[in-house]
């Protein structure tokens, strides 16, 4: 991988070369109106963008030990929507990762067990359960499942899906591992139904007691005892790898349709890779370096970790999120403290810590005032909006094998 310094200056250098070349061309090609033909109409912005190292998304990679089949993905869909996976049977994966909310939940901190409602309308401890003690909010913002199949992809050279980083601190790798963690968390999915160490085995026993699931697992995996934790994880991960979107206006532009982006979006893309320095951390096909940076985001007072979520290495660092489909996945940052895309750009433009726990010497090196104008901020926001593609799988099952309410207590 290129060094940080190389990444930081490459695009600035290329843009400078383009400006020099454009000026020279204009000087050498000047002629009297009657002596030369009208030149072809081109947008100089396209020439500048052509010098950037922009990469589109490749096909999804599947682990060798978990290849995709339609039947496996459909089994995973049912498990994703079935609250039988939740300890108190009121929570499904989709409760916090809903297709109508960009496979996120639309709130700052997720509300899991004993909540009711969906997205911004969801409230905590209103689900009617009698528990040993109230359920705390989930301490971090729910990352989207959308395009999580590409987690870890920083260049078009590919990636290992079994090493894909998961969660805001990348504490686990692969979708197969990730999908086994929320069911063990009391606040996210488990409640008081069983101990965390017993959660996944308890879920497998529940599934094995449902004849329709036994038949579906047998059809997909074969064998005499197919309903296992490993096969559960393979099915859910396979489904999640089908939740992708790869045809945003930005992708169309990279594919050669130079009209797919507006002038504001093109200017925003140039600023993103230049003056605003966004691409120092947001680069590659997923627009993320998947590294950790301290940005000094204000603490969320609703978090059970308040007054300090110290993040990775206890240095208040969190993983760079992808910017793809960002218009669908707010509020933003690890604790949902920035409401909209303009808030993010303005925060980065200010370049100072908003968190008293994060001193200036702890901040990422690129966290310095950028000097962006209001027009430039709006152009960057316009570019970020071009990264959205709403043409992804949003199918909702009409029923789930457990017979429980599809999606859990979200109505």
CB count in 10 Å sphere of residue 121 = 10
Residue 340 preceded by cis peptide, ω within 30: no
d(CA 29, CA 16): 20
Whether 190 contacts 320, CB under 8 Å? no
Selection from 302, 401, 338, 392 nearest residue 98 by Cα: 392
Predicted confidence band of residue 411 (pLDDT cuts 50, 70, 90) = confident
Report the predicted TM-score, pTM, of the whole model to 2 decimal places: 0.91
The domains of the chain are located at: 70-146+158-240
Q: Is the pLDDT of residue 39 over 80?
A: no
| 3-state secondary structure (DSSP) of residue 104 | strand
Q: Is the pLDDT of residue 22 over 70?
A: no
The average confidence (pLDDT) of the chain is: 92
Helices (H), 324-373: 341-350
Q: Is the pLDDT of residue 390 over 50?
A: yes
Query: Which residue is listed with tokens 């230049």?
Result: 274
Predicted confidence band of residue 67 (pLDDT cuts 50, 70, 90) = very high
Give the H/E segment covering residue 381. helix 374-385
d(CA 87, CA 112): 11
d(CA 222, CA 236): 17
Predicted confidence band of residue 86 (pLDDT cuts 50, 70, 90) = very high
Q: Which fold has domain 70-146+158-240?
A: Cytochrome Bc1 Complex; Chain D, domain 2 (1.10.760)
Whether 271 contacts 328, CB under 8 Å? no
d(CA 397, CA 286): 29
Give the H/E segment covering residue 200. helix 199-208
């Amino acid at each position: 991988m290129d060094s940080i310094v190389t990444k930081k200056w490459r695009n600035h250098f290329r843009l400078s070369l383009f400006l020099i070349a454009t000026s020279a061309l204009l000087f050498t090609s000047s002629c009297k109106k009657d002596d030369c033909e009208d030149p072809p109409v081109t947008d100089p912005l396209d020439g500048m963008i052509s010098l950037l190292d922009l990469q589109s998304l490749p096909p999804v990679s599947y682990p060798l030990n978990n290849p995709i089949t339609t039947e496996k993905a459909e089994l995973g869909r049912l498990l994703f929507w079935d609250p039988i996976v939740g300890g108190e049977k009121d929570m499904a994966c989709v409760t916090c990762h809903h297709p109508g909310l960009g496979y996120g939940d639309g709130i700052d901190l997720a509300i899991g067990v004993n909540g009711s409602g969906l997205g911004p309308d969801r409230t905590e401890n209103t689900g009617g359960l009698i528990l040993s003690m109230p359920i705390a909010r989930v301490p971090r913002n729910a990352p989207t499942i959308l395009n999580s199949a590409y987690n870890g992809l920083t260049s078009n050279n590919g990636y290992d899906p079994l090493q894909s980083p998961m969660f805001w601190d990348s504490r686990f790798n692969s979708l197969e591992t990730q999908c086994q963690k929320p069911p063990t968390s009391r606040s996210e999915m488990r409640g008081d139904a069983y101990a965390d160490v017993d959660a996944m085995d308890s879920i497998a026993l529940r599934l094995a007691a449902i004849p329709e699931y036994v038949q579906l697992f047998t059809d997909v995996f074969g064998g005499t005892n197919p309903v296992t934790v490993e096969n559960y994880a393979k099915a859910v991960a396979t489904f999640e790898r089908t939740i992708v979107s790869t045809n945003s206006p930005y992708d169309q532009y990279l594919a050669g349709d130079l009209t797919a982006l507006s002038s504001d979006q093109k200017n925003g893309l140039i600023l993103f890779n230049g003056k605003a320095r966004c691409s120092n951390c947001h680069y590659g096909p997923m627009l993320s370096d998947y590294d950790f940076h301290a940005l000094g985001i204000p603490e969320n007072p609703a978090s059970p970790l308040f007054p300090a979520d110290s993040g990775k290495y206890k240095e208040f660092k969190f993983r760079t999120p992808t910017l793809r489909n960002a218009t669908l996945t707010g509020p933003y940052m690890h604790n949902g403290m920035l409401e909209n895309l303009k808030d993010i750009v303005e925060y980065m433009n200010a370049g100072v810590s908003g968190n008293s726990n994060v001193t200036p010497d702890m901040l990422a090196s690129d966290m310095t005032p950028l000097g962006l104008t209001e027009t430039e901020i709006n152009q960057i926001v316009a570019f970020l909006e071009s990264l959205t593609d709403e043409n992804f799988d949003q199918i909702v099952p009409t029923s789930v094998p457990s017979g429980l309410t599809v999606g859990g207590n979200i109505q």
